Structure 1
Amino acid sequence: MLKNFVKAVLFPSPEVLQERINKASGEVCKPGGPCEIGQVEVRGNKYRNFMVGPQTLPELLKFSNESFGTRECIVYQNERLTFKDVYAKAELMAGALVEMGLKPGDRVGICSRNYPEWIIAFCAIIHAGGVIVPMNSWWQGRELEYGISHSGMKIIIADEPRMKHVADRLPSLGVKGIVLRAKKTPEGIISWKHALKIGSKAPRVKLPTVDPDSDAVIMYTSGTTGNPKGVRQTHRGVCQAILAINHVEQSLRAGMGYLAAFIPLPCQLLAVPLFHVTGTHAVLLAGLLLGRKTVIMHKWDPKEALVSIEKEKATHFTGVPTMILEITGHKDAKKHDLSSLLVCTGGGAPMPPALFPKLLDKAPSCQPGQGYGMTETNAITTINTGLNQMTRPKSCGKAQPVCDVRVINEEGNVLPTGKPGELCVRGPTVMAGYYKDDEATKKVFLEDGWMLTGDMAEIDEDGFVYIVDRLKELVIRGGENISCAEVEAAAYEHSAVAECAAFGVPDERLGEELTLAVFLKDGENVDEEGLRKFIAERLAHYKVPRFVHIREESLPRGPTGKVMRRIAKQQYLAKNPPHIQAKM
């Protein structure tokens, strides 16, 4: 009996631990707590706000450098940089940006694979008082040109493959360029190394003092129209989102009690693109706030992930569920020690319940989790972790402490518990609006700061959110948002296409796969592969439909003559069920 009592005290059951964490979640937010919550007014609305911790990105850089200076910050292949190294290089690059004419509030783009330079560039733009524009590194020439011209950026920092797409267009756009990891520097562009030399000779740039509600990042996201929208993320919005991750961390530590002292130095694997809010917010910026070593993967490879987790003793992994499935299901998984993993979170698609036993078998101490968020909400809106995740695997969790959620019907009335409707979000993490698009901004905002998400959801009696459908005409493939309208517009450029409809179909690995139903003009001809190649010449490869269905009859239309994607999708799935198409 004494043995069982000691075991229960020293090593609480998952149920007891979750109860303690739930209680600690509220305790840490009280006055004087590490996640104290107060109230602020933002754009005429009053919101709850984490009052402890950085409120702007310059404050975050200062805190990170002073708190974790000599600790390792970035690991990339054979390169290792401490927090002080990153800060020092960012300070030099900030000097170069200012020497190149950057003024406070000017936009600077970053378009590159995940490299240490991406992170340093991000920090440098903050240091110089600029607004960061992370660009999708899978974009092609005309997509990149749109982002450059629409954002009005003054400088773009890109790796060699991306710079080749736009180098000859920059002079006409009035944009200066810095290229990194290039074997040959294009004419009119300066190299990363030369920029650092410029910064070393320039006057030292001091960290700026900025308004928490001023723009920090403009991040482009696919919308229901052809071109992506620029989401204005403020310093407050970004920082409140990462402070919500800190709240999860503080609640976990408080709930663990003395066991928290045995938690090793945090280390996270960066396996998602940095141009996504998951990469920037949930990984990069959370790492700067919490002192996590970030191990950068050049590209996703489950075998490499297994090796890196074991070698670097990674404690945190954040990715789409597909990645976690590929790690746990890899043929070499048993050969690698994953026991260091303490937190493994997914997003972009539901976490399959069958994944949890596989994950816990490889990493017994791991807390599984998932969340819900959008670029428009700075990624972190709801969070589900630990036992709550395992007992409610279909839920994306409860609203984080400074956010509110509710569901409404088509008339705008708030629906009761358990009734599905459109999910609305409110809080300081919600975007300031769409850049240069007041009309689109007005469409998604209701009174009192509530924002429409375009996702159908229901909320249970305990406040857990369940996403049940999507109102937006988007496909989310492996975490990537794809605009149906943009894909259709590219297909319509083909002379043989009379009608088309893009939609997502279920896929076990990626959540959804992009499908295009097509009706051809009389006398015209193109096969499925020919149309895929045609679209691939115009759009990034992840936007190219996996399945193209050439129909013999025209597409279904509504009373106004508009093609009805939902009906086209139903018709396709009736003939091609998911279990059949998966074998195609």
Structure 2
Amino acid sequence: NQWARVAEPDDFRTLQFVVAGAERVRDETRHLFNTQFHGVKLLEGYGATEASPVIAVNHPDRNLPGTVGQILPGMDWRVEDVPGIAEGGRFYVRGPNVMSGYLSPDDPSKVEPLAGGWHDTGDIVEVDDEGYVSILGRVKRFAKIGGEMVSLTAVEGLASAVWPDNRHAVISVPDTRKGEKLVLVTDRMDADVARLAEWAREHGAPELAVPKKILRVSAVPTLGTGKTDYVAVQSLIDGEKSAA
């Protein structure tokens, strides 16, 4: 998104489409491609190192924005219910592109095979009747607040909807009253809880999805891949708590 904002309209003139992965494509990024780059199609895909690496991808003639496309031909998949999570389920895949297993930590010369050949992606997804996959979050990226499961990825999406030009990360921390509470880490220096709560009310988002604490930083930590570095984000929150 940052690169697209400063790119020239002709930078993609030789391309018919661009495939994006690694992280959810923002709505404003889609808008930039639709309006600034002469109709170059932006196709979102999804994969994992264990799957060499593509699992699903949109096609120029079968593109459903907001999804990561359809699962590759020749792959099997299943979605299992997760207690406490109402929408979607845990995503498992297998196929000729899926690895045999992980190297044994006790004996690196041996491979610990996947049970039945199934790889547990650790992602919560929905798959529609036409096979389009929507990524709802990571199994580990849910918080249990007052007995309700809240997707941290969805909360980050809420913050991005309010401040689309900034980067945001959400972490859950222990809370004596409700079990866990949400902390938003953002590079938006004037971010405030009231604005988030207002947007949530206007768009029907649950109150539980509104972080009650905001940590403003000059830059949200990222990995070399461009993904959010949640370990470093957690360290920022821990450091802020220690200094308090």
Q: Provide the rounded CA distance (Å) in 1 between the counterparts of 2:121 and 2:134.
A: 13
The answer to whether residue 183 in structure 2 is matched with residue 572 in structure 1 is: yes
Contact 1:341–1:363, Cα closer than 8 Å, also in 2: no
The answer to whether residue 8 in structure 2 is matched with residue 333 in structure 1 is: yes
Q: Provide the rounded CA distance (Å) in 2 between the counterparts of 1:436 and 1:355.
A: 41
Indicate the structure with greater helix content: 1
Query: Gaps (5+ residues) in structure 2?
Result: 143-151, 185-210, 220-244
* CA spacing shift, 1:352–1:582, aligned 2, 3 Å: farther
Which residue matches 2:92? 424
Q: Provide the rounded CA distance (Å) in 2 between the counterparts of 1:365 and 1:455.
A: 31
* CA spacing shift, 1:337–1:372, aligned 2, 3 Å: closer
Which among 34, 51, 55 is matched to residue 360 of structure 1?
A: 34
Query: Gaps (5+ residues) in structure 1?
Result: 1-324, 412-417, 475-502, 518-554, 558-565
Which residue matches 2:114? 445
Which residue matches 1:398? 70
Instruction: Give me the TM-score of the superposition, normalised by structure 2.
Output: 0.56
Aligned-partner SS, 1:356: helix
Aligned-partner SS, 2:27: coil
The answer to whether residue 169 in structure 2 is matched with residue 513 in structure 1 is: yes
Deviation at 1:333, TM superposition (A): 2.5
Write the deviation string for residues 329-349 of structure 1: whole angstroms up to 9, x where unpaired. Answer: 11x635x54322222111122
Q: Which one-letter code corresponds to 1:329 in the other structure?
A: R
Indicate the structure with greater strand content: 2
Which among 17, 33, 41 is matched to residue 343 of structure 1?
A: 17
* CA spacing shift, 1:514–1:356, aligned 2, 3 Å: closer
The answer to whether residue 49 in structure 2 is matched with residue 381 in structure 1 is: no
* CA spacing shift, 1:423–1:359, aligned 2, 3 Å: same
Write the deviation string for residues 83-110 of structure 1: whole angstroms up to 9, x where unpaired. Answer: xxxxxxxxxxxxxxxxxxxxxxxxxxxx
Write the deviation string for residues 437-468 of structure 1: whole angstroms up to 9, x where unpaired. Answer: 489x86x9343x12211111111011111111
Q: Provide the rounded CA distance (Å) in 1 between the counterparts of 2:167 and 2:101.
A: 28
* CA spacing shift, 1:401–1:473, aligned 2, 3 Å: same
Q: Which one-letter code corresponds to 1:401 in the other structure?
A: P
Contact 2:170–2:182, Cα closer than 8 Å, also in 1: no
Contact 2:172–2:182, Cα closer than 8 Å, also in 1: no
Q: Provide the rounded CA distance (Å) in 1 between the counterparts of 2:16 and 2:179.
A: 44
Q: Provide the rounded CA distance (Å) in 1 between the counterparts of 2:167 and 2:18.
A: 18
Deviation at 1:581, TM superposition (A): 4.4
* CA spacing shift, 1:353–1:514, aligned 2, 3 Å: closer
Residue identity (%): 23
Aligned-partner SS, 1:424: strand
* CA spacing shift, 1:473–1:368, aligned 2, 3 Å: closer
Contact 1:405–1:423, Cα closer than 8 Å, also in 2: yes
* CA spacing shift, 1:419–1:461, aligned 2, 3 Å: farther
Write the deviation string for residues 472-508 of structure 1: whole angstroms up to 9, x where unpaired. Answer: 469xxxxxxxxxxxxxxxxxxxxxxxxxxxx987274
Q: Provide the rounded CA distance (Å) in 1 between the counterparts of 2:52 and 2:70.
A: 16
Aligned-partner SS, 2:54: coil
Contact 2:172–2:183, Cα closer than 8 Å, also in 1: no
Write the deviation string for residues 234-274 of structure 1: whole angstroms up to 9, x where unpaired. Answer: xxxxxxxxxxxxxxxxxxxxxxxxxxxxxxxxxxxxxxxxx
Instruction: Give the length in aligned residue pairs.
Output: 171
* CA spacing shift, 1:406–1:582, aligned 2, 3 Å: farther
Which residue matches 2:81? 409
* CA spacing shift, 1:514–1:576, aligned 2, 3 Å: closer
Aligned-partner SS, 1:361: helix
Instruction: Give me the TM-score of the superposition, normalised by structure 1.
Output: 0.26
Contact 1:353–1:393, Cα closer than 8 Å, also in 2: no
Deviation at 1:556, TM superposition (A): 4.6
Q: Which one-letter code corresponds to 2:69 in the other structure?
A: G
Larger radius of gyration: 1
